[in-house]
Structure formats: structure tokens, C-alpha cells
């Protein structure tokens, strides 16, 4: 911050030095009347600087941005009129003997009204310049604040969806383990141990905005193995994930709801069923496809509350706008979901 302030101060000093040097830069090698330069160039520049900085630091914030436009205009008109008068008085008092005046009788001097009009235009330049800079600075600040507010809102929404997903996942897993307690206590114990590992990943590793895809794949494999403990031999579960480290990072827990959904709605205790899970990585694009039998749960089954798919859609909308597609369809009594994400 201090470095930025120093750069701004040096920039202002450099600009004014260039302006003060303009008479010599524009007429290099020619003889100059120093008194004429002081009276006609340097003194007006000092007045211009006064107008610029008084507006930049005081008047624009206090009056123009506070919608006191009339007061702002009146103050500047008075200041400009005062500076025009002071300039003439300084020139007449201190430099009249050193500067050759145009002869009014011969028509060399411009009319008084034209003189005042031109002087007003010159004094308007630093005024308008200060307004332009201050307005641009304020717009940039407002835009940054808007982006920061949008970022905070986005982060808050994503955090809410993340916290919403955790109990949803936990309760679904507990329901599956509960079904094993009477059938196979040993498997139930093993499942609880596996669930603790999965929850450790969800609670600690997924707090980052992005995680390695390989970690997410490992998490999904463990969850699939956990879910396979409770399904019967009539259900076939196959999955295919990239075996090599891709280095791709992705938002955590985007795919797990689809796997949960497949085990919840695609498994039957009395009928043969199958779940097919595939993930393909093509450069920076991840395509996740899951197919399962369409066996909707009973209307009185409220487990999970049906938030999984909605959670996916909302998170994709926030995390990967215009970089993702999510489609679901039922074809030949099979529920097919495909999720494609561009990670770059």
C-alpha cells in the first residue's frame, strides 16, 4: 500500500515537472523571456494545480458525489473567477514592466469577453480532469466492492451447499449400514470403520476449493466398496476410473451424489440390477457417466430428502458457469446421468 502511494506521488510530481518544462520543450534552442513564462505559464499552472487538487481531495467527494451539484458549480465558478482576477493583478503588479502588452487600440488584444471566455476554458481543463479521474477511481472501487461482495456471496452459497451435502451423505450411509446390522454384524462393523475414513476426507480434505482428481477418485472407490457390502448378489457394480495421475484439480464431492443416487434408486433386493460407472479424462475435460436401473424409491421413503441432484446442479452453476454440462435421461428403463466439466 505504501509503495502504491509513493508511486502515485512520484507520478504527480513527474507530470507537473513536465508541464512546467513545456515552454522550453516546445521552443528548444530559442531565447525565452523568463518573466513572460512565469506570468503566462507557471502562475496559471499553479492555479490549475490548486483547482485540480482542491476538487480531487475535497469538493468532488463533499459536493458532487453527495449530489450537491449546484453548490459544487457555484464554488468552482467563484474559485475560477478569483484565479482569473488574481492572475491579472499579479501580472499587472509584478510583470507589467517586463512583458510587452498587445496594443488594444490597434486591435492586437482580444476583446475582454473573449479573454474571459478563453481563460474559463483553460481553468475548466483541470476541473474536468479531476472529475474524470475521481469518477473513474470511484467506479473501479465500486466494481471491486461489487466483485468482492459477489465472491463472498458465492463462497457462502458454496459453503452452504457443502455443509448440506455432508449430513445428506452421512445419513444415507448410516441407512445402508443400519440395513447390515441384523444381516451381517461383522460387515456392519467394517462399514462403520470405512465410513469414518470417508467422513474424515469430507470434513478435512474437502475444505479446499479444489482437490486432486485422483483423491476424489480414491474417495469414490472407497464409497462404492462400502455400498457394495449391502447389495445382494443380484446387483452387479462395475466402475472404470483413470488409473494414472492426471494432475487435474476439481471441486470436491461433485460426483458422489450421482453414485449415491445410483445405489438408492438402481438397486433391487429381488430383481437383477446393475450399476455402471465410468470416468474419462481428455486433456482438461472430465466426463463422468453413470448408468443404473430405474427403480424409484417409494413415496413414503424420505431418506436423503432428494437434495443430491439439485445440489450438483447448483454447485455446477456457481463453480463452472459455461464450463460444464449435466444431463439425465431414462432410456430402456435405465437411468443415465452424464456430467462433463472443463477444468481449465
Residue 102: predicted pLDDT? 53
Nearest Cα to Cα of residue 292 among 333, 253, 338, 241: 333
Determine the Cα angle at 52 with ends 20 and 138, to 5°. 130
Query: What are phi and psi for residue 33, nearest 5 degrees?
Result: -90, 105
Residue limits of CATH 3.30.565.10 in the chain: 155-342
CB 271 within 8 A of CB 278: no
Record the pTM: 0.56
Residue 275: predicted pLDDT? 94
Q: How far is the C-alpha of 59 from the C-alpha of 72, rounded, in Å?
A: 7
Residue 304: predicted pLDDT? 46
Which burial class, exposed, middle or buried, applies to 323 when counting CB atoms under 10 A from its CB (0-12, 13-18, 19+)? middle
CATH topology of domain 155-342: Heat Shock Protein 90 (3.30.565)
Buried b (16+ CB within 10 A) or exposed e, 6-23: eeeeeeeeeeeeeeeeeb
Cβ neighbours for 161, distance < 8 A, ≥ 6 positions apart? 311, 314, 315, 318
Alpha helices in 27-111 (DSSP H): 34-37, 43-54, 69-94
What radius of gyration do the chain's Cα atoms show?
37
Residue 305: predicted pLDDT? 45
CB 16 within 8 A of CB 49: yes
Per residue of the chain (344 residues), give pLDDT as tens.
Answer: 578 788 888 888 888 888 888 877 766 656 667 777 888 788 889 999 999 999 999 999 999 999 999 999 999 999 999 998 898 888 888 777 666 655 555 555 556 567 677 788 889 999 999 999 999 999 998 898 888 777 766 666 666 656 555 666 777 677 767 767 777 777 777 778 787 888 788 777 777 888 999 999 998 998 888 888 777 788 899 999 998 888 999 988 889 889 888 888 888 878 889 999 999 999 889 999 999 998 866 555 544 445 678 888 888 888 898 999 999 999 988 999 999 999 87
CB 210 within 8 A of CB 251: yes
Nearest Cα to Cα of residue 303 among 188, 198, 189, 179: 179
Judged by DSSP in three states, 271 sits in coil
Amino acid at each position: 500500500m505504501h509503495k502504491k502511494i509513493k508511486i502515485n506521488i512520484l507520478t504527480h510530481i513527474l507530470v507537473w515537472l513536465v508541464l512546467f518544462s513545456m515552454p522550453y520543450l516546445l521552443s528548444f534552442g530559442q531565447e525565452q523571456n523568463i518573466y513572460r513564462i512565469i506570468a503566462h505559464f507557471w502562475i496559471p499552472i499553479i492555479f490549475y494545480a490548486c483547482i485540480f487538487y482542491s476538487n480531487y481531495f475535497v469538493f468532488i467527494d463533499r459536493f458532487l458525489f453527495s449530489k450537491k451539484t449546484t453548490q459544487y458549480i457555484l464554488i468552482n465558478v467563484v474559485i475560477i473567477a478569483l484565479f482569473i482576477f488574481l492572475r491579472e493583478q499579479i501580472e499587472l503588479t509584478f510583470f507589467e514592466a517586463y512583458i510587452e502588452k498587445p496594443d488594444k487600440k490597434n486591435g492586437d488584444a482580444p476583446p475582454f469577453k473573449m479573454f474571459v471566455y478563453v481563460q474559463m476554458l483553460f481553468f475548466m481543463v483541470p476541473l474536468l480532469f479531476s472529475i474524470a479521474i475521481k469518477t473513474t477511481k470511484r467506479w473501479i472501487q465500486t466494481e471491486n466492492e461489487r466483485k468482492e461482495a459477489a465472491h463472498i456471496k458465492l463462497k457462502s452459497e458454496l459453503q452452504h451447499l457443502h455443509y448440506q451435502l455432508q449430513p445428506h451423505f452421512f445419513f444415507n450411509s448410516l441407512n445402508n449400514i443400519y440395513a447390515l446390522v441384523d444381516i451381517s454384524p461383522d460387515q456392519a462393523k467394517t462399514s462403520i470403520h470405512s465410513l469414518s475414513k470417508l467422513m474424515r476426507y469430507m470434513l478435512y480434505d474437502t475444505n479446499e476449493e479444489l482437490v486432486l482428481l485422483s483423491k476424489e477418485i480414491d474417495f469414490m472407490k472407497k464409497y462404492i466398496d462400502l455400498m457394495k457390502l449391502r447389495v445382494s448378489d443380484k446387483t452387479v457394480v462395475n466402475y472404470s476410473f483413470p488409473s494414472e495421475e492426471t494432475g487435474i484439480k476439481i471441486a470436491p464431492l461433485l460426483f458422489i451424489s450421482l453414485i449415491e443416487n445410483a445405489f438408492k434408486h438402481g438397486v433391487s433386493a429381488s430383481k437383477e440390477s446393475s450399476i455402471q460407472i465410468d470416468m474419462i479424462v481428455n486433456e482438461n475435460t472430465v466426463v463422468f457417466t453413470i448408468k443404473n436401473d430405474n427403480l424409484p424409491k417409494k413415496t413414503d421413503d424420505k431418506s436423503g430428502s432428494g437434495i443430491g441432484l439439485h445440489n450438483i446442479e447448483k454447485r455446477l452453476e456457481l463453480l463452472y458457469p459455461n464450463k460444464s454440462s449435466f444431463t439425465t435421461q431414462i432410456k430402456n428403463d435405465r437411468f443415465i446421468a452424464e456430467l462433463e466439466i472443463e477444468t481449465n
